[in-house]
Structure 1
Amino acid sequence: MTPDQLRQALHELNGERDLIIAFAGVTSPAIGGAAHLEVRHAMLIPDEADHLVKVTDGKSVFIIDADRVAWIRIGLK
């Protein structure tokens, strides 16, 4: 997935929904071998000069490597 495709997929994040992203090729023994990121009340940060895909929960900023995204879940918990 390209950064532009990822931004398009995340464009509806406005702080009202939660986001889960699973990453391909990244393992974590703590969660059964699949690494994922959970962001509650996620908001997509508009494209900036660095062109990194960034999501925030209002407290932290998460930079996402679009090439490693396996799947995305957007919804309420």
Structure 2
Amino acid sequence: MRFDSDRTVVPLPDHERLLGGSVADPLWTIRDVSAYLTVPVGTLYQWRHRGEGPPAIRLGRHLRYDPDSVHRWALAQAS
């Protein structure tokens, strides 16, 4: 929700219309990945620095992870 110039409430576009009819899975934060993999956040930063961890997406100054990519990466590490 946002306010118009005359302070009336204007609803934001809903995600289904923005994404072509379906709501996409939200991206994970580094804390989400840390909890899923049961490793400290610092370890994820080290892995990223070395190019060893799950693939991340940088959005501005924030790292985000696609849950499917994290799952695939974890399975690949197990084999």
- Give the TM bin, normalised by the shorter chain: under 0.3
Larger radius of gyration: 2
* Bigger relative contact order (CA 8 A; separation at least 6): 1
Give 1 or 2: higher helix fraction: 2
Greater strand fraction, Structure 1 or Structure 2: 1
